[in-house]
Structure 1
Amino acid sequence: MNALYLLQRYFVASIRTQLQYPASTLMLSFGAFLANAIELAGIWALFNRFGAVQGWQFGDICMFFGMVSISFSIADFLTRGFDVFGSQFVRTGDFDRVLLRPRTATLQLMGHDFRLRVLGRFAQGLAVIVVATRALNFDWDVGAIALTIWTIAGGVALFFGVLVLQATLAFWTVESLEVVNVVTYGGVQAAQYPLTFYTSWFRNFLIFVVPIACVAYFPVLAILHKADPLGAPRWLLPLTPAVGFLFLALSFAVWRLGVRKYTSTGT
């Protein structure tokens, strides 16, 4: 409970800082909303011109798009400290100060900064799910709502794990490698479309290496009551978000190894 109280204090301090410049915060949030809306407009233009693609409709893509946007926005909100870990903690030696404090490094990095601009992506994700609901004439029952919350939770855990791994690389590379953005932001882009759009090796990568498909593609099929064209059994589809929590646990295991190997800059 003490840790949660401290996290709350971090949260309040971060929000108050950003609200010192409310116009800037609103513009950044609106910019994030608009950027993703333009991308969605491109998808609409594609389906409006060619119709269904491999049996997938515009509403189906919107459901994938919205779920992934919401999951990533929440994970991004909670992991700013891990995202800038290499440049702001390892290179400067500030991680030494983090380790000396009587609280876990994970808690302090989570509380480093809570960026309000991610609300733009979150709001856009909600709006896209509303569009998907209308396009598909989808009826939300209790089971679908519960599965949606479970799917988003698994997605948050998985993207949290990816960003923890990105930070862990800084223990050996000093800077967090930009190539990791191919997995984070690139993974978000890939998860916005069905796996059937991709070649087999890339599908396997999204299922078994960085299992983004397990927190987007498979559970969304279960929500929409669709069978998997690739042959995954129906009973498995709603269970796959659990992989996100397993991935997060493995990421923290690697993180702890990195902390043990950490060598101070001496500054």
Structure 2
Amino acid sequence: MRLYFQYLLLLFKSQMQYRTSFWLLSLGQFLVPFSAFAGLYFLFERFGQIKGWDFYEVALCFAIIHMAFALSECFARGFDNFSSLVASGDFDRLLVRPRTTFVQVLGSKFEFTRVGRLLQSVIVLGWAVSNLAIDWSFLKILTLLLMIISGVFIFTGIFILAATLSFWTIQGLEIANIFTDGGREMAQYPLNIYQKWVTRFFTFVIPFGSVNYLPLLYLLGKGGKEEWLYMLTPLAGIVFILPCIFVWIVGVRHYRSTGS
């Protein structure tokens, strides 16, 4: 981990060499998600509620998923751009270094400009929480933090799986964006507004439901007698990254250099 933080510090210093560019890109990342949030706002302005969910409840869901996505994009961007290392043959150099390839790829790129998206999500989160009658306790605060962490692990796991495909396809596949960008757009609403097969897939296969729906029921007091189970569901998102790392290890073992 000391090596990882050294990577982080070096890349932060390099990006801060062009501070005007850095702050303009951060401002862009702050403003772009407003289009999605504006669409959310006008949707509820017109219809009032969706399947029993009001605006501030969905705004809380929106803030959590976008915050998780921003953090994952910032700290796991190396996997998102991994296909270029395979195509150019540069991954060969990582294999001969005396450190695990996972840490090297994870630390190869950081997008600190995502602080703009993160700040916007924090503002929406504060606005939503201040307008919701939630009886906050230590367990609910802990659950909220675990929801964000769970989302970071899920998005990072998807980035890892998409990167692993590059060992066989060489070039990155745009289909992975269905589960990253598409997953973010879908998961900014509670899962129960979709058809049952969608809810089941994104609960038991890719566990976005452990971020934006089941623990949300606990926070809002809608969980009924089993609400303590909903409180624990963010752990499923954290566990999700383990099979993703295993698939990565299998992919590295089957890597064949392109010879570029």
Instruction: Please give the range of the TM-score, normalised by the shorter of the 2 chains.
Output: over 0.9
SS at 1:132 equivalent:
helix
**Alignment partner of 1:47 is 2:80:** no
Residue in structure 2 matched with residue 248 of structure 1 by the alignment: 241
Q: CA deviation at 1:55?
A: 1.4
**Alignment partner of 1:105 is 2:101:** yes
Q: CA deviation at 1:76?
A: 1.3
> Contact 2:67–2:122 at 8 Å: present in 1 too?
yes
> Contact 2:202–2:208 at 8 Å: present in 1 too?
yes
SS at 2:116 equivalent:
helix
| Paired residues for 1:79-158 under 5 Å | 79-87=76-84, 89-158=85-154
Q: CA deviation at 1:135?
A: 2.5
Aligned partner (choices 65, 69, 77) of residue 68 of structure 1: 65
Instruction: Give TM-score, length-normalised by structure 1.
Output: 0.93
Aligned residues: 260
Q: CA deviation at 1:139?
A: 4.9
Q: Which runs of 5+ in 2 are unaligned?
A: none
> Contact 1:154–1:241 at 8 Å: present in 2 too?
yes
CA distance in 1, matches of 2:210, 2:123: 23
Residue in structure 2 matched with residue 77 of structure 1 by the alignment: 74
SS at 1:8 equivalent:
helix
| Paired residues for 1:26-37 under 5 Å | 26-37=23-34
Aligned residue type for 2:111: R
Aligned residue type for 1:133: V
Residue in structure 2 matched with residue 25 of structure 1 by the alignment: 22
Residue in structure 2 matched with residue 235 of structure 1 by the alignment: 228
Aligned residue type for 2:235: A
> Contact 2:191–2:212 at 8 Å: present in 1 too?
no
> Contact 1:58–1:135 at 8 Å: present in 2 too?
no
Instruction: Give TM-score, length-normalised by structure 2.
Output: 0.95
CA distance in 2, matches of 1:53, 1:85: 39
SS at 1:264 equivalent:
coil
SS at 1:55 equivalent:
coil
CA RMSD of aligned residues (A): 1.5
Q: Deviations 1:93-119 (Å, cap 9, x if unpaired)?
A: 011000110011111111112111111
Aligned partner (choices 178, 185, 188) of residue 189 of structure 1: 185
